[in-house]
Amino acid sequence: MLSKKTKYGLKALTYLASKPKNEPVQIAEIAEHENISQKFLETILLSLRKTGFLGSKKGKGGGYYLIKDPSDIKMTSVIRILEGPIAMIPCVSLNFYEKCDDCPDENKCSVHKLMIQVRDSALKVYGQTTLSDLIG
């Protein structure tokens, strides 16, 4: 399941992408337009800023804005930041790999085999989709 965090984060990014570049948009405006709890959105936007997607400006006329061009923001990186691994199980994760306790041999594991295919199919979608594809 996609967390609310990821969902809200994506919506906020899309909203920001629809605005003129480098024009700060206030949290309150995004929250209201997308029906998101403002306080919750604060923490989400903060993490998107710390990971290099957003810039911010404090004080009057401040807000958040996209740093990169929407067509340069791939879903793979957004999802990994907000949601975590794209793989459904750590033993097939490219960026968050972890061995299974119970598996003596990954290469013989049926779940492993299946989940590699699922991962690759998701990766294909996320890899060819950028923020600019989500607008409009």
Site of interaction with a copy of itself (CB under 8 A)? 1-2, 7, 10-11, 14, 34-36, 75, 85, 88-89, 101-104, 109-111, 113-115, 117-118, 121-122, 124-126, 129, 134-135
113 interacts with, out of DNA, a copy of itself, none, CB within 5 to 8 A per kind:
a copy of itself
Interatomic CA distance for residues 113 and 110, integer angstroms: 5
Tokens of 98: 């972890």
5 interacts with, out of a copy of itself, DNA, none, CB within 5 to 8 A per kind:
DNA
Q: Are 79 and 88 in contact (CB under 8 A)?
A: no
Interatomic CA distance for residues 125 and 76, integer angstroms: 9
Q: How far is CA 95 from the centre of its chain?
A: 14
Residues 13-32 as x/- pattern, contact with DNA by CB under 7 A? -----------x-xxx----
Which CB sits closer to a copy of itself, 58 or 105? 105
Interatomic CA distance for residues 67 and 52, integer angstroms: 7
Which CB sits closer to a copy of itself, 60 or 102? 102
